[in-house]
């Protein structure tokens, strides 16, 4: 016998087994029979695979009739790559459904309503915060209709992203660079401007500490109207690359939403970073600061149209970590009002 809170904790453990980066959320499900015995478990293994409820019901079979389904996300009521989980639960004859998080996807929500209409007792809101944390990027994307944007930059203590001659390898040390690759791997896409491609020729791939490429590579996105040269490393076939010939950050994010990207790792350069900041489209900042002074050279971010300290973009520190000699600052951002002349990335 297990209580429903314990079953939800188990469902969350199962959900965490799903892919961390995927168009769909990570979901776990546990089915108990009328006596409270666990008779089926499942989790979502990624886009195109059966949903967690369908996996758990397949294991439970007839033992699910009259029992309880405990799920980390409200059962979907949408026919997409798979059939609606709400109908599957009704067909299986479960008597009770307990879920953690309401489904924020406008295309899929409504499962709880359908289940109640079918005579099933439905309880929501059990360990909701834990379920939301498990799918923070997906939840943000479903709620806001666009990917979550994390702006990363590396700079000296005086805010320079490169020396006066353009050299930038390496501002930070090996530990910080390894950390960048670890966090890059959590994104659906890595985005830079054409100016960065032309100036730095970055690969924009995710590599392991030994230098070997990770099996899953984020989508590489180049934003801007100039065409990268055929020899650019972003066109080397090591990962899929999308060139968006557009200067408006909002339009770029709309396009990436259509590609089912939930988190964008924004790497710059300073013009692109300023465009996203001025458009109010940066949600988190991850800054790597090296104990180095240059005195001149390109800044980490371009013109934000700020004339006085009262207009400054204020960050809320979330975490400060030392990585060898360097510091990583992770912060949320309080968006300032976009400057009317600087919401696009015109130089790109």
Which positions are annotated as active-site residues?
53
CB 130 within 8 A of CB 270: no
Strands (E), the chain: 28-32, 38-43, 68-73, 96-101, 121-123, 148-156, 189-193, 219-223, 241-244, 263-268, 284-290, 314-323, 326-334
What would the two tokens of residue 20 be?
């961390």
Please report which helix (H) or strand (E) contains residue 183, including its range. Answer: helix 174-184
Question: Cis peptide before 107, with omega less than 30 degrees from 0?
Answer: no
Say how far apart CA 216 and CA 41 lie, in whole Å. Answer: 27
- Token duo for residue 56: 């758990």
Residue that is written with structure tokens 């769909």 in the block? 24
């Amino acid at each position: 016998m297990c209580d429903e809170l314990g079953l939800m904790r188990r469902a969350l453990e199962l959900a965490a087994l799903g892919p961390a980066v995927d168009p769909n959320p990570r979901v776990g499900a546990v089915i108990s029979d009328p006596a409270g015995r666990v008779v089926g478990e499942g989790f979502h293994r990624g886009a195109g695979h059966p949903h967690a409820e369908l996996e758990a019901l397949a294991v439970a079979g007839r033992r699910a009739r009259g029992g309880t389904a405990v799920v980390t996300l409200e059962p979907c009521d949408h026919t997409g790559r798979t059939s609606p989980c709400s109908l599957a639960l009704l067909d299986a004859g479960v008597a009770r459904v307990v879920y953690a998080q309401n489904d924020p996807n406008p295309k899929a929500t409504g499962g709880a309503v359908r289940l109640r209409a079918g005579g099933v007792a439905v309880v929501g809101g059990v360990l909701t915060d834990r379920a939301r944390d498990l799918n923070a990027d997906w939840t943000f994307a479903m709620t806001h209709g666009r990917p979550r944007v994390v702006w990363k930059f590396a700079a000296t203590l005086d805010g320079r992203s490169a020396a006066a001659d353009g050299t930038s390898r390496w501002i930070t040390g090996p530990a910080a660079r390894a950390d960048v690759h670890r966090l890059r791997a959590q994104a659906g896409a890595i985005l830079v401007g054409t100016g960065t491609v032309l100036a730095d020729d970055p690969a924009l791939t995710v590599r392991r500490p030994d230098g070997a490429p990770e099996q899953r590579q984020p989508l590489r996105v180049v934003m801007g109207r100039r065409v990268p040269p055929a020899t650019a490393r972003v066109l080397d076939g090591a990962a899929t690359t999308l060139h968006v010939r557009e200067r408006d950050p909002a339009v770029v994010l709309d396009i990436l939403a259509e590609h089912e990207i939930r988190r964008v790792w924004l790497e710059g350069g300073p013009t692109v970073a300023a465009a996203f900041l001025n458009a109010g489209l940066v949600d988190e900042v991850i800054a790597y600061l090296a104990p180095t002074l240059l005195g001149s050279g390109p800044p980490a971010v371009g013109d934000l149209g700020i004339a006085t300290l009262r207009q400054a973009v204020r960050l809320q520190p979330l975490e400060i970590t030392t990585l060898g000699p360097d510091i990583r600052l992770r912060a949320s951002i309080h968006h300032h009002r976009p400057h009317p002349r600087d919401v696009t990335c015109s130089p790109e």
